[in-house]
Structure 1
């Protein structure tokens, strides 16, 4: 049996990760420890589906290592990428509050380690500790407002500005994962960039070519090397 000191050392990385999650950042240390106690490690292989659109919503996930994406599929076979997730990102968080069906499919892009929190465990914590529930509602409300503001801004932006904004967010995600190199490699396709920016692939491709000629980035198969991350800001307005 592990000693109390060993148990603390084992749970510290989980507490550190949970503290990075925007939904949990307002929780007190003792509340984070309660969440950590019910968090279960999960591993996923590249291209493995974590859950599908229409599945019962019963678990939320926090990325510990690797990357995932959320996609929606249409009846005609097309798929649209809605979001990319990296270390510290949470997805499926509405499962903490309701049992509606999943609104999108989430799949692993590479090897993913995650923390899974069952909805039943989280709801029990919220019943036993009302402060947790109140703080989570406030945090989710703030995330919703931020999403609405982002969508509102995008509706007035050009394709170029939206694509540059997507690239800037992906660079920020890489920085948050510990990549402090002057040049930042991002594994993503032109099609995913276009979908995240709400543009056609052709329009996104043309602007990425402009950025490449300007020396801001260099494109490869399924990846982009951002040579001058700071320059992206000049194209976002």
Structure 2
């Protein structure tokens, strides 16, 4: 990991694109920009481990990373794949406690880091910012409830279809391996391989150059229901 020198106008521009800061007044943006810096990581670098102190809000500037948990047996469950523009580590940044997840770079990436103590002070001083934080935390909670519901009520093939629907279709998008898909769905690679074949045989998807593409939207939509 290394720290990259950045210009003030670039930091302000980054904040204006982010869902936590996009409509904040200029003086607040200037104050926040003075407490943020840019870090560069290589593929495989761990940004932080579960249980580590992580007193900063993070924003992906470039590249991708994965948020994951490990079971007591060492099995990995991918909570989320982070892409450019995504924000993470909100929980420790705003509650000041230790980090609840692990984060690892999937490729060379650059990540903005904003001081958590400053952000907690802004919550106390500015109701406008506090409302933004509450709104985003509510969205995150709804997303987690949806993920838990899918694991409880849907078979792996249906959950796989729903996950594929969320993946970017562009050729430049990061490639997901079957191991990563399995980790994201809370299952094992062999089960994902069988479910993938089932979706292919039905005509819902096709796999070219190890990339998953939706072949028939109508059939695919049936699998998502």
Q: TM-score, normalised by structure 2?
A: 0.81
1:34 CA drift (Å): 4.7
Q: Does 1:46 align with 2:33?
A: no
Q: Is the CA contact (8 Å cut-off) linking 2:59 and 2:111 kept in structure 1? A: yes
Q: Does 1:92 align with 2:80?
A: no
Aligned equivalent of 1:224, options 180, 201, 211: 211
Q: Is the CA contact (8 Å cut-off) linking 2:76 and 2:183 kept in structure 1? A: no
Q: Is the CA contact (8 Å cut-off) linking 2:15 and 2:21 kept in structure 1? A: no
**Counterparts of 1:185 and 1:195 in 2: how far apart (Å)?**
19
Spell out, residue by residue over 1:51-103, the C-alpha distance to the aligned partner (whole angstroms, 9 max, x if none): 01110131121111111111222343332222211112111111232222222
Q: Is the CA contact (8 Å cut-off) linking 2:52 and 2:98 kept in structure 1? A: yes
Spell out, residue by residue over 1:115-141, the C-alpha distance to the aligned partner (whole angstroms, 9 max, x if none): 111211212332332321232123212
Q: Which residue of 1 aligns with 2:153?
A: 156
**Counterparts of 1:87 and 1:167 in 2: how far apart (Å)?**
19
**Counterparts of 2:78 and 2:184 in 1: how far apart (Å)?**
6
**Counterparts of 1:53 and 1:7 in 2: how far apart (Å)?**
32
Q: Which residue of 2 aligns with 1:236?
A: 224
Q: Which residue of 2 aligns with 1:65?
A: 62
- Give the total of aligned pairs: 216
Q: Does 1:110 align with 2:107?
A: yes
Q: Which residue of 1 aligns with 2:167?
A: 170
Q: Which residue of 1 aligns with 2:14?
A: 14
Q: Where do 5+ consecutive residues of structure 2 fail to align?
A: 1-6
- The DSSP-based 3-state class of the residue aligned with 2:107 is coil
- The DSSP-based 3-state class of the residue aligned with 1:94 is helix
CA RMSD, 1 decimal = 2.8
- The DSSP-based 3-state class of the residue aligned with 1:55 is coil
**Counterparts of 1:152 and 1:75 in 2: how far apart (Å)?**
23
Q: Which residue of 2 aligns with 1:101?
A: 98
- The DSSP-based 3-state class of the residue aligned with 2:95 is coil
Q: Which residue of 1 aligns with 2:131?
A: 134
Greater displacement, 28-37 / 203-212: 28-37
Q: Which residue of 2 aligns with 1:3?
A: none
Q: Where do 5+ consecutive residues of structure 1 fail to align?
A: 1-5
Cα pair distance change 1:224/1:55, threshold 3 Å? same
Q: Which residue of 2 aligns with 1:192?
A: 180
